[in-house]
């Protein structure tokens, strides 16, 4: 890789106070800070993992409301206790938020000093050699015929390019590392020179990118909970939907979303194509394909465009997306009162309850007789492939092969005028009595498409005109998506850099010979280090040793040639 880091300008002062070469005490403090922060990060990560788990073991409101209700019924004593601990909404509970926030703070507290240190390090010379070079990998030593200054200059010139290089003069006074200055004359001929070389600073760059991008992801998730919105609406074949708040069966939005900003689109469901498995016994009745053909008008008055919405294939409208989240049947029913007046006509969605689409619903007819006294409710089942035998009525296949409506009749007050938020799918909040036959059993009506039956007590007639399907659309907008995706891509890039780029350091220490020819020749030592241990280090150091040997040739063999690898540590 091309890590040709810009070396500091040659006129840099020899002892720049900004260099992270802090001396032994500074280094210790730096290490201590780093180790303690690593420990903090480790503990917080494990804490986050543990805090995340309960939300997968207990039912969560945000995932499945019904499951929470079931849990309450099954464990009436335990549930309120868990409720107080926030265990049915773990991911919005204060204690989960606390762990999240702590991690966030720690991450920020970790990144700022690391980024600063990394930027300084980027422009600084590679650090000086450790005293005991001979304990490091790839250690080689020999005597060179060149005097130290010349050897150092030659070696530094040869190594530069592949490595980023700095030159240090080892003096007894600490902190006098002369970065990249072969022109500096030695104050003392007997002090060793060190050519320090380094590659792979991008490893740390990657690490910094990674941790900063993690903050981006945490921010995106926070933005999602503030600015996203979502609504669910049922649309019957042939009918339309306008994107306004009242039209939704359920709607939630983030604290900062203004529902007045809902995009003004409209949609018409032309048809719903549904396919179930009917060949394979093992998966009989399993859903195979759902496709909703719709016409979308982006703004009032705009020409409509046709779209096909499938389970994995939403339609995009003005920052929002329309998903097909479910489907079912909506029998079209006419009701006439005892006077033969048509008092109700329309498609009534019945909600599927199981894999064979046994569906439940209620037909609500307000003010049956026109006197304002009595409402009518026809409640019961829709069975797409009905089988009625001594096991009772049920559906055996989700497609409409033998559709039947099975209804009971009730009269009374539906509670519609009181403006209660009663569901259109149930008789919750209504005050009605079921009409019974002479024997005391509830009267039940069975209808096939195209048939009519008389209601009991001369209440009128009901007609199952035809069968339509409905689609459940989930409309969602989450502006944080692109932010999260961008941060996630950076997370991956940074991660790969920080894990796969090896950071290598190598040192060439050139010590003047002692004895009669003091300072005229040199003892050259080469060794290196990597983080983490990498298989390429050995080869890189061998290559470096060869380059070093070529730039500062050894003393010819007859003149005391020493060149051997270390034998014992």
Partner 1 sequence: MIIDSSLANASDALIVSATVVYTVAMLAFVADLVSTGRASRTITRQLVTAGASGPATTEAVAEPPGTEASVSSPASRIGRIAVTLFLLGTGLHLASVVARGAAVGRVPWSNAYEFATTGALAVSLLFAGLLLRREVRWLGAFVALPIVLTLGVATAVFYAEASDLAPALQSFWLVIHVSVAFIASALFTVGFSLSVLQLVQHRFERQGARPAPTVLRAVPSATVLEAMSFRLHAAGFVLWTFTLVAGAIWAEHAWGRYWGWDPKEVWSLVIWVVYAAYLHARSTAGWGGRGAAWVAVAAYGCLLFNFFGVNYLFVGNHSYAG
Contact positions toward partner 1, by CB under 8 A? 35, 38-39, 41-42, 45-46, 48-49, 52-53, 55-57, 60, 62-64, 67, 90-91, 135-138, 221, 224, 228, 230, 277, 279-280, 282-283, 286-290, 310-314, 321, 323, 325, 474, 476, 478, 481, 484-485, 488-489, 491-492, 495-496, 499-500, 529-530, 532-533, 535, 537-538, 541, 569
Q: Least distance from C-beta 176 to partner 1, angstroms? A: 28
Which does residue 88 touch among partner 1, ligand HEM, none (CB within 5 to 8 A, set by kind)? none
Nearer to ligand HEM, 122 or 251 (CB): 122
Q: Least distance from C-beta 287 to partner 1, angstroms? A: 6
d(CA 47, CA 99): 7
- Can residue 309 be called a binding residue for ligand HEM (CB under 6 A)? no
Binding residues for ligand HEM, rule CB under 6 A, total: 16
Q: Check: CB of residue 70 under 8 Å from CB of residue 88.
A: no
Which does residue 98 touch among partner 1, ligand HEM, none (CB within 5 to 8 A, set by kind)? none
Which does residue 302 touch among partner 1, ligand HEM, none (CB within 5 to 8 A, set by kind)? none
Which does residue 138 touch among ligand HEM, partner 1, none (CB within 5 to 8 A, set by kind)? partner 1
Residue 100's SS3 state is: helix
- Can residue 115 be called a binding residue for ligand HEM (CB under 6 A)? no
d(CA 332, CA 524): 95
Which does residue 282 touch among partner 1, ligand HEM, none (CB within 5 to 8 A, set by kind)? partner 1
Contacts of 412 (CB under 8 A, 6+ apart): 374, 375, 377, 430, 431, 432, 433
Q: Least distance from C-beta 419 to partner 1, angstroms? A: 31
Q: Check: CB of residue 239 under 8 Å from CB of residue 471.
A: no
Q: Least distance from C-beta 314 to partner 1, angstroms? A: 6
d(CA 238, CA 422): 26
d(CA 317, CA 294): 12
Walk across the sheet containing 305-310 and list its strands: 240-242, 266-276, 287-297, 305-310
- Can residue 493 be called a binding residue for ligand HEM (CB under 6 A)? no
CA atoms within 13 A on the CB side of 527: 20
Residue 493's SS3 state is: helix
Nearer to partner 1, 40 or 182 (CB): 40
- HEC profile of 285-347: CCEEEEEEEEEEECCCCCCCEEEEEECCECEEECCEEEEEEEEEEEEEEEEEECCCCEEEEEE
d(CA 81, CA 195): 67
Q: Check: CB of residue 362 under 8 Å from CB of residue 377.
A: yes
- Can residue 107 be called a binding residue for ligand HEM (CB under 6 A)? yes
Q: Which of 302, 499, 518, 546 binds ligand HEM (CB under 6 A)?
A: 499
Q: Which of 47, 51, 145, 495 binds ligand HEM (CB under 6 A)?
A: 495
d(CA 99, CA 46): 10
- Can residue 47 be called a binding residue for ligand HEM (CB under 6 A)? no
Q: Check: CB of residue 186 under 8 Å from CB of residue 510.
A: no
Specify the stretch interacting with ligand HEM by CB under 6 A; choose among 9-17, 106-114, 284-292, 414-422: 106-114
Binding string, residues 170-209; x marks residues near ligand HEM by CB under 6 A: -------------------------------------x--
Nearest residue to ligand HEM by CB is: 110
For the chain, how far is it from start to end, CA to CA, in angstroms?
33
Measure CA 495 to chain center. Answer: 15
- Can residue 214 be called a binding residue for ligand HEM (CB under 6 A)? yes
* Count of C-beta atoms within a 10 Å radius of residue 467: 19
Nearer to partner 1, 329 or 473 (CB): 473
Nearer to partner 1, 135 or 256 (CB): 135
* Enclosing H/E stretch for 25: helix 23-52
Nearer to ligand HEM, 118 or 310 (CB): 118
Q: Which of 16, 40, 225, 444 binds ligand HEM (CB under 6 A)?
A: 40
378: β partners: 363, 409
Binding site for ligand HEM (CB under 6 A): 37-38, 40-41, 44-45, 103, 106-107, 110, 207, 211, 214, 495, 498-499
């Amino acid at each position: 890789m091309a890590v040709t880091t810009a070396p500091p300008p040659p006129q840099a002062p020899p002892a720049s106070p900004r260099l992270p070469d802090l001396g032994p005490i500074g280094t210790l403090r730096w290490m201590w800070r780093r180790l303690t922060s690593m420990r903090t990060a480790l503990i917080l990560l494990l804490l986050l993992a543990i805090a995340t788990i309960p939300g997968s073991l207990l039912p969560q409101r945000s995932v499945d409301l019904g499951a929470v209700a079931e849990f309450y019924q099954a464990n009436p004593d335990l549930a309120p206790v868990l409720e107080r601990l926030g265990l049915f909404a773990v991911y919005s509970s204060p204690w989960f938020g606390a762990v999240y926030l702590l991690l966030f703070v720690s991450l920020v507290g970790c990144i700022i000093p690391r980024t600063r240190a990394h930027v300084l390090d980027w422009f600084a010379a590679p650090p000086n050699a450790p005293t005991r070079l001979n304990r490091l990998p790839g250690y080689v030593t020999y005597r060179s015929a060149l005097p130290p200054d010349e050897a150092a200059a030659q070696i530094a010139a040869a190594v530069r390019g592949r490595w980023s290089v700095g030159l240090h003069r080892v003096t007894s006074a600490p902190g006098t590392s002369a970065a990249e200055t072969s022109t500096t004359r030695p104050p003392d001929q007997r002090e060793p020179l060190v050519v320090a070389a380094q590659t792979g600073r991008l490893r740390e760059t990657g690490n910094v990118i990674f941790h900063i991008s993690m903050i981006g992801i945490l921010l995106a998730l926070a933005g999602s909970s503030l600015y996203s919105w979502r609504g669910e609406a049922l649309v019957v074949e042939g009918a339309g939907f306008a994107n306004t708040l009242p039209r939704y069966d359920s709607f939630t939005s983030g604290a900062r979303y203004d529902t007045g900003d809902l995009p003004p689109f409209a949609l018409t469901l032309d048809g719903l194509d549904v396919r179930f498995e009917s060949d394979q016994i093992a998966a009989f009745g399993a859903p195979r394909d759902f496709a909703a053909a719709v016409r979308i008008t982006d703004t009032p008055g705009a020409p409509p465009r046709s779209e096909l919405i499938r389970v994995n294939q939403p339609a995009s409208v003005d920052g929002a997306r329309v998903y097909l989240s479910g489907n079912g049947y909506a029998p079209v029913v006419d009701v006439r009162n005892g006077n033969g007046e048509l008092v109700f006509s329309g498609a009534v969605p019945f909600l599927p309850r199981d894999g064979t689409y046994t569906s439940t619903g209620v037909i609500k007819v307000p003010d049956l007789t026109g006197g304002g006294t009595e409402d009518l409710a026809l409640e019961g089942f829709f069975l797409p492939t009905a089988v009625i035998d001594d096991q009772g009525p049920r559906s055996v296949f989700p497609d409409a092969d033998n559709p039947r409506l099975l209804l009971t009749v009730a009269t009374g007050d539906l509670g519609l005028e009181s403006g209660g938020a009663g569901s259109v799918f149930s008789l919750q909040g209504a005050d009605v009595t079921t009409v019974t036959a002479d024997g005391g059993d509830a009267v039940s009506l069975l209808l096939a498409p195209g048939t009519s039956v008389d209601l009991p007590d001369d209440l009128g007639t009901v007609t199952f005109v035809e069968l339509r399907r409905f689609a459940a659309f989930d409309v969602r907008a989450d502006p944080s998506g692109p932010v999260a995706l961008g941060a996630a891509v950076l997370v991956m890039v940074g991660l790969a850099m920080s894990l796969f780029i090896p950071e290598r350091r190598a040192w060439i220490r050139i010590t003047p010979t002692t004895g009669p020819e003091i300072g005229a020749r040199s003892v050259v030592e080469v060794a290196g280090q990597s983080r983490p241990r990498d298989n390429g280090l050995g080869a890189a150091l061998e290559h470096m040793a060869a380059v070093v040997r070529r730039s500062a040739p050894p003393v010819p063999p007859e003149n005391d040639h020493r060149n051997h690898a270390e034998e014992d540590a």
